[in-house]
Chains A and B, each alone.
Chain A
Amino acid sequence: MPRVGIYLPIAEMSVNVFVLLAMGGAVGFLSGMFGVGGGFLITPLLIFYNIPPAIAVATGANQVIASSFSGALVHFKRKTLDVKLGTVLLAGGIVGASLGAMAFAYLRRLGQLDLIVSLLYVLFLGVVGGLMLLESVRALRRARSGQTVSLRKPGQHNWIHRLPLKMRFRASKLFVSVIPILVLGAFIGFLASIMGVGGGFIMVPALIYLLKVPTNVVIGTSLFQIIFVAAFTTIIHSTANQTVDVVLAFLLMVGGVAGAQYGARVGQRLRGEQLRALLALLVLAVALRLAFDLFVRPASVYSLSMGGV
C-alpha cells in the first residue's frame, strides 16, 4: 500500500491516508451488505490502528452520522420509517447520551476509559454476535427443511405490553407504553456516547424482539434516530473533550459511503439467514480480538497519558 501520510490535527499523529480510506471502505462495504451503521467496527479498528480510544470513540460517532443519513434517506423515500417512534426513542437517546458523555469524561480522568470501552465492546459484540449466530443457524436449518417462519408473531404479548402510558404508532401498527421505548432509547444513547457507535446492532434486535416492531420499518427508524443521537454525541464530545477529529472522520466517511454501495449490491445476492450468519461471525471475531487484548499480557504494562490529575 503506498504511504501517503496525513497529519490528524486532533489525534496529533501522522497516519496513512490509504489505510483509513480502505478501513472506511471495508466497513462501508460490510454495512451496506448487512444494513448496519458500522460504528461498532470502525471504533475497534481505529483503536487497533493506535488512534487513542477517546478520539476513536468521538470520531466514530461523527462518522456514523454520514452512513446513517445516507441510509435513512432511502427509507425516508420508501416511507419505511416510523418518525413518531423514532422521536420517542430519540428523546430517551438524548438523555442517555448526556449521561454517557459524563461517564466518559469521568472514566477518562480515572484512566479506566480504555478498559470500559473494550469491556463493553467484548460484552455487547459477544452477546449480540452469539445470539445472531444461534438464530441464523436455526433459520438456515429450518430453511433447509422447508419451513417458513416470520419474526413477528402478532397477538403474542409480553410484560412490556402491560405497562401504562400507552401511545399509538401508526406506521409500526403498535399500541404500546412509551416507558420501554424511552428506556431503550436512553440505554442505547448511553452506549452510543461511550462506545462511539450508532447502536443499530442492539436497536434492531430490541425493536424486533422486545417491542415487536414490524421488520420493514425497523432499520429505517433505527437509522433515523441514530442520526440525531450520533450528532448529539459528536457535539457533546467536541464541546466537553475536544476529541472529534474531522480529518479522520472525513476520510472514513468517504471510504464508507463508497464502500456501502458495493456492499449493498453484494448483499442483495445473498440470502437473509446467510447474511445474518456472516455478520454474526464478523461481530464475534471483533469481540474475540478485543478480548484477546484484554487477557494477553501487553507488550508494556506501563502507559503514559497527558494531562493533570
Chain B
Amino acid sequence: MRFKRCIGLVSFLSAFLPLGASAQNGIPEGIQIGLSTDRVSITSDFAGAELTIFGALDNADPLISRQGRYDVVVVLEGPARPVVVRKKTRVLGMWINTQSEVFRDVPASYSMALTRAPQDITDPDGYRRLALGTENIHLQPLDADGDPKTIEEFTAALRDRKEATGLYSTRVGGVRFLSQNLFRATLTLAPNVAVGTHRARAFLFRNGSFLRETSAQLTIRKAGLEQRLFEFAQRHGLIYGILAVLVAIVTGWLGRLIFRKD
C-alpha cells in the first residue's frame, strides 16, 4: 500500500501573471516552486510516499508553451553523508567483503522528475554542466589518489546500489503542465528515505537550452514517537538500554501472568 501525500502548492503567482507579457517583450522567463510546508513527517505507517511539488513559469511565451517546447526538471536531493562501498569477492568459496572505497558527501537520496525523456530535453553535455541526473551527481572518493579504474568501478556500483534500493530514481513524465504556466512534479520518496534537510530544485529549459533554476528546502523528519525514540537512543544510550531491558522484563512477566497454566 502506498500512501500518497501532497505537499501543496504555492502557485498563486501564476494567477496574477499577465499571459501576454512574456519573453518576446524582452523579459526573461522565470520559474517558481514552492512548498506549502517545509516539513514532512515520517509516521509509523510510512511505506514510501509521493511528494507533489507545484510550480509556475513567469513570463512564459504562450506560443512556445502551446508547442510544448518548455521543459521542466525537478530534483529532490537528500542530505549529503559519507558512504562506504564494499565489494565482495570469493575467498575459500565464500563471498567476503574484501575491497572498500569511502565516498564523502554522497546525497542520501536523489529523486528526479522530468517532463519528457532526458534525451528529449537537452543533450548529455547540458546535464553534465548542471550536474543534473543520477549519472552526473558528483561523487568524490575520500582517497582521491587511488587507482582511477577502481574509483570508477566503485562510483558506478554506488549509483547502481542507490538505484536498486529506490533511493536514486528518475521519473520520466513526472512533471506535467497543468496549464500554460502551471506545472506539477511528482517525486518518489523511498520507504527508507533519509531524515534531514532535502533540497528541491527545478530547472527550466526552452528548446533544449537551459534557462533558469530555482530551489526550496524541505525537512524530512520522523513523526512524534519515532523521532523521540530515535533522538533518545542517540543521546541517552544508557538509559535507553535500561528501559529496553525493563520493557522486556515486564513483557515476559505479563506473558507469564496472562498465559500461566501451572
A residues near B (Cβ < 8 Å) are 3-7, 9-10, 12-14, 62-63, 65-70, 73-74, 77, 111-112, 114-115, 227, 231, 234-240, 242, 244, 246-247, 249-250, 253-254, 256-258, 260-261, 294-298, 300-309
The contact of B244 among A62, A302, A308, by CB within 8 Å, is A62
Contact A63 B82, beta carbon cutoff 8 Å: no
Contact A257 B252, beta carbon cutoff 8 Å: yes
Query: Considering the chains assembled together, what is the distance between the CA atoms of A43 and B45 in angstroms?
Result: 24
Q: Which residues of A contact B262 (CB under 8 A)?
A: 74, 77
Query: Considering the chains assembled together, what is the distance between the CA atoms of A112 and B237 in angstroms?
Result: 24
The contact of B259 among A239, A247, A257, A303, by CB within 8 Å, is A257
30 A-B residue pairs with Cβ-Cβ distance under 8 Å, sorted by A, are A6-B44, A6-B45, A7-B44, A7-B222, A9-B227, A9-B229, A13-B192, A14-B192, A62-B244, A65-B248, A67-B252, A238-B244, A239-B241, A242-B237, A246-B243, A247-B229, A249-B247, A249-B248, A253-B252, A257-B254, A257-B255, A294-B94, A298-B88, A302-B158, A303-B85, A304-B158, A304-B161, A306-B84, A307-B82, A308-B82
The contact of A70 among B44, B241, B245, B252, by CB within 8 Å, is B252
Contact A14 B233, beta carbon cutoff 8 Å: no
CB B117 to nearest CB in A, in angstroms, measures 27
Q: Is B95 an interface residue (CB 8 A)?
A: yes
The 4 closest A-B CB pairs, nearest first, are: A257-B255, A238-B241, A69-B252, A235-B241
Query: Considering the chains assembled together, what is the distance between the CA atoms of A246 and B247 in angstroms?
Result: 8
Contact B249 A66, beta carbon cutoff 8 Å: yes
Q: Which residues of A contact B86 (CB under 8 A)?
A: 111, 302-305
CB B41 to nearest CB in A, in angstroms, measures 11
Chain A contact residues, majority secondary structure: helix
Q: Which residues of B contact A66 (CB under 8 A)?
A: 248-249, 251-252, 255
Contact A12 B233, beta carbon cutoff 8 Å: no
Q: Which residues of B contact A256 (CB under 8 A)?
A: 255
Contact B240 A73, beta carbon cutoff 8 Å: no
**Residue among B48, B102, B230 with most chain A CB within 10 A:** B230
Q: Is B157 an interface residue (CB 8 A)?
A: yes
Contact A297 B230, beta carbon cutoff 8 Å: no
Q: Which residues of A contact B48 (CB under 8 A)?
A: 14
Contact status of A303 and B241, CB under 8 A, knowing A5-B46, A69-B248: no
Number of interface residues of B (CB under 8 A): 65
Instruction: Output the nearest chain B residue to A28 by Cβ-Cβ distance.
Output: B255
CB B44 to nearest CB in A, in angstroms, measures 5
**0/1 interface trace, chain B 228-239, chain A, CB 8 Å (1 if under):** 011001100110
For the A-B complex with A7-B46, A74-B262 known, give 20 more contacts whose Cβ atoms are closer than 8 Å: A9-B226, A9-B227, A9-B229, A9-B230, A13-B192, A14-B47, A14-B192, A66-B251, A69-B253, A112-B97, A115-B96, A234-B244, A234-B245, A239-B237, A294-B95, A296-B95, A300-B157, A302-B85, A304-B85, A308-B82
Q: Which residues of A contact B97 (CB under 8 A)?
A: 111-112, 114-115, 303
Contact A238 B240, beta carbon cutoff 8 Å: yes
Instruction: Output the nearest chain A residue to B222 by Cβ-Cβ distance.
Output: A9
Contact A295 B95, beta carbon cutoff 8 Å: yes
Q: Is B191 an interface residue (CB 8 A)?
A: yes
